[in-house]
Structure 1
Amino acid sequence: MSRPIPTGPEGFTPTGTISSSTDRRRVVFATVVGTTVEWYDFFLYASAAGLVFGQLFFAPAGEGFAQILSFITVGISFLFRPLGAFLAGHLGDTYGRRLVLMLTLILMGVATTLVGLLPTYQAIGIAAPILLIVLRILQGISAGGEWGGAVLMAVEHAPKTRRSLFGASPQLGVPLGLLLASGMLGLMAVIAPGDAFLEWGWRIPFLLSFVLILIGHYVRRRVEESPVFLELADRKEQTRMPIVQLFRKHALLVIIAAFVFAGNNAVGYMTTGGYIQRYATDPAGPVGLPTAEVLGAVTISAVSWLVFTWIAGWAGDRLGRRNTYIIGWIAQLVGVVLLFPLVNTGSIGMLTLGLVVLTAGLGFTYGPQAALYAELFPASIRFSGVSISYALGAILGGAFAPTIAQALVQQTGSTDSVTWYLAGMTVLGLLATLLLRDRSGIPLGPDHEELQARSPIYGASKA
Structure 2
Amino acid sequence: MSAPGGPATPAGATPRSSDRRRVAFATVIGTTVEWYDYFIYASAAGLVFGRLFFEPAGQEFATILSFLTVGISFLFRPLGAFLAGHFGDRYGRRVVLVFTLILMGAATSLIGILPTHAQIGLAAPALLLLLRILQGISAGGEWGGAVLMAVEYAPSHRRGLFGAMPQIGVPIGLLLASAMMAVMDLLFPGDAFLEWGWRIPFLFSVVLIAVGYWVRRRVEESPIFAEIAARKEQTKAPVPTLFARFTPLVLFAAFVFAGNNAIGYMTTGGYVQNYATEGLGLERGPVLWAVTASSVSWLVFTFVAGWLSDHIGRRTTYLIGYVLLGAGVLALFPLVNTAELPLLALALVLLTVGLGLTYGPQSAWYTELFPSSVRFSGVSISYAIGAVLGGAFSPAIASWIQQSTGSSTNVSYYLLGMALVGLVGTLLLRDRRGINLRPTNEEQQSRGIYIWDDSSSAPSQTSTTT
Normalized against structure 1, the TM-score is what? 0.96
Q: Deviations over 1:38-79 (max 9, x none)?
A: 000000000000000000000011111011000000000000
Q: Secondary structure at the match of 1:41?
A: helix
Q: CA deviation at 1:460?
A: 4.2
Report the equivalent of 1:3.
none
Report the equivalent of 1:8.
none
Does residue 105 of the first structure (1) align with residue 101 of the second (2)?
yes
Q: CA deviation at 1:454?
A: 1.2
Equivalenced residues, count: 448
> Partners in 1 of 2:449 and 2:305 — Cα distance?
22
Q: Map of 1:112-131 to 2, 5 A cutoff?
A: 112-131=108-127
| Structure 1 contact 14–445 (Cα < 8 Å) conserved | no
> Partners in 2 of 1:143 and 1:124 — Cα distance?
28
Q: For 2:88, which of 86, 92, 95 is the aligned residue?
A: 92
Does residue 343 of the first structure (1) align with residue 336 of the second (2)?
yes
Q: CA deviation at 1:427?
A: 1.3
> Partners in 2 of 1:456 and 1:187 — Cα distance?
47
What letter is aligned with 2:149? M
Q: For 1:411, which of 404, 411, 420 is the aligned residue?
A: 404
Q: Map of 1:355-434 to 2, 5 A cutoff?
A: 355-434=348-427
Q: CA deviation at 1:16?
A: 5.0
Q: What's the % identity of the aligned pairs?
A: 67
Q: Secondary structure at the match of 1:117?
A: coil
Q: Deviations over 1:285-315 (max 9, x none)?
A: 2x21100000000000000000000000000
> Partners in 1 of 2:379 and 2:33 — Cα distance?
21
Q: CA deviation at 1:17?
A: 1.8
What letter is aligned with 1:296? W
| Structure 2 contact 11–226 (Cα < 8 Å) conserved | no
> Partners in 1 of 2:329 and 2:91 — Cα distance?
42
Q: Secondary structure at the match of 2:377?
A: helix
Q: Secondary structure at the match of 1:341?
A: helix
Does residue 217 of the first structure (1) align with residue 210 of the second (2)?
no
> Partners in 2 of 1:18 and 1:456 — Cα distance?
26
| Structure 1 contact 15–445 (Cα < 8 Å) conserved | no
> Partners in 1 of 2:418 and 2:62 — Cα distance?
26
Q: CA deviation at 1:428?
A: 1.2
CA RMSD of aligned residues (A): 1.2
Normalized against structure 2, the TM-score is what? 0.95
Give 5+ residue unaligned stretches, structure 2: 1-8, 459-466
Q: Map of 1:14-29 to 2, 5 A cutoff?
A: 16-29=12-25
Does residue 174 of the first structure (1) align with residue 170 of the second (2)?
yes
Does residue 445 of the first structure (1) align with residue 441 of the second (2)?
no
Report the equivalent of 2:196.
200
Report the equivalent of 2:3.
none
Report the equivalent of 1:288.
281
> Partners in 2 of 1:325 and 1:18 — Cα distance?
29
Q: CA deviation at 1:15?
A: 7.0
> Partners in 1 of 2:448 and 2:46 — Cα distance?
42
Q: Deviations over 1:235-268 (max 9, x none)?
A: 1000000001100000010000000000100000
Q: For 1:145, which of 135, 141, 144 is the aligned residue?
A: 141
Q: CA deviation at 1:185?
A: 0.3
Q: For 1:156, which of 148, 152, 155 is the aligned residue?
A: 152
Runs of at least 4 residues off by over 2 Å: 13-16, 460-463
Q: CA deviation at 1:408?
A: 0.2
What letter is aligned with 1:333? G
